[in-house]
A and B are shown apart, each in its own frame.
Chain A
């Protein structure tokens, strides 16, 4: 592992330990009260979910257009993280929605597109695991569609009538709410980078092991 990995992991653990304190001390939102605090974890996990989908898509494009196996490994690692962070966003969202909208789920454009993006990542993993030879390109093609969905998720709330809060919420946060929000986002981003690095390294070692086996035969 690289030298920065261990200190960064410690920093990430500390940040996740501190973030609940910051969130608890943030002021209550005027209309929603306590339940709004879910958004300090919901929004960062949703953003990382989208970032991971973009990482997966970009790596897949580079792999498809002549890039090496390195890009493919990044794509696979990122797809698993799309599932992980997407699950966080898709669980925390309904918890908030139950209080704010009175329903767990609403088939509006952003929610539907997010669910679709998450399912594409699950399909990606299924294809890679069970597809056999040739599934690497198949997965790359799938990841492309997953990435195309990302801007859709992001802008959907501004273009179509929906009850999901708009993208203008974050830039207009008051400082007292902005600090805990950006702090949690930094923690989630760091966690994402660490997990991605770890997962890619695992694949690299697998590939090396395969190469060793092949050279022994």
Chain B
């Protein structure tokens, strides 16, 4: 089977399992929305939001929901003991990684679609004024975040304190991507669009995306071998 075909099948399998129960999507969205509501209570006073709070809150909610979704995706495989089967399949290991990555990116992008109008409304942020740019920024950031997250969540399945260790591993590595995402989103909220700045942060995120995915594809095989 070709690389892309395996990735597609793994992705479709994850999607089918998810659509049957909506377990991860429902819990991640609920978690992200409650986080945003907490922030709204803290940072919106007398109907006025704190300046520049919206981008930070958007990305924090995405990062937290992402951690939750990443942990659950692989926890599900572990409980059903299907990860072993997946790894035993005569398929390229990196292809399995890509399939998993696509599934998690899809989940997070769906969560973001729910979060955006909520944050735009609660924090009076014109998030949809430059929707095209925002989509590019969110996608670049989400891919970078999930590229690292998928690798480590997969490895952590076998480790004792996996719930604690996922953020410990994931956050230091993905700080630059999250910072770039926050900065790029704040640039988009300015009244005047600074295209050079957006390009700068997008290129930074793209650079990290490429490095992260390359490293993950390269190390997934030896890391997943017992």
Nearest CB of A to B134, in Å: 21
A107 within 8 A of B: yes
**Nearest-neighbor residue (CB-CB) of B173 within chain A:** A145
B222 touches A64 (CB 8 A): yes
B160 touches A133 (CB 8 A): yes
B176 within 8 A of A: yes
What is the interface residue range for chain A against chain B?
Answer: 20 to 34
On B, residues with C-beta under 8 Å from A are: 148, 151-152, 155-156, 158-161, 164-165, 168-169, 171-173, 175-176, 179, 200, 204, 207, 211-212, 215, 219, 222-223
Chain B residues with CB below 8 A from A115, complex form: 175
Chain A residues with CB below 8 A from B164, complex form: 130
Chain B residues with CB below 8 A from A113, complex form: 176
A144 touches B219 (CB 8 A): yes
B160 touches A131 (CB 8 A): yes
Chain B residues with CB below 8 A from A140, complex form: 223
- Roughly how many angstroms separate A1 CA and B147 CA in the complex, as a whole number? 43
Provide the A169-186 mask, 1 if CB < 8 A to any CB of B, else 0. Answer: 000000000000000000
A145 touches B215 (CB 8 A): yes
Chain A residues with CB below 8 A from B175, complex form: 112, 115-116, 119
Chain B residues with CB below 8 A from A137, complex form: 155, 222-223
- Roughly how many angstroms separate A23 CA and B173 CA in the complex, as a whole number? 36
Q: Supply 14 further A-B pairs (C-beta < 8 A) apart from A123-B168, A152-B211.
A: A112-B175, A112-B176, A116-B176, A126-B165, A130-B165, A132-B161, A135-B159, A137-B222, A138-B165, A138-B169, A140-B223, A141-B152, A141-B223, A160-B200
- Roughly how many angstroms separate A152 CA and B215 CA in the complex, as a whole number? 14
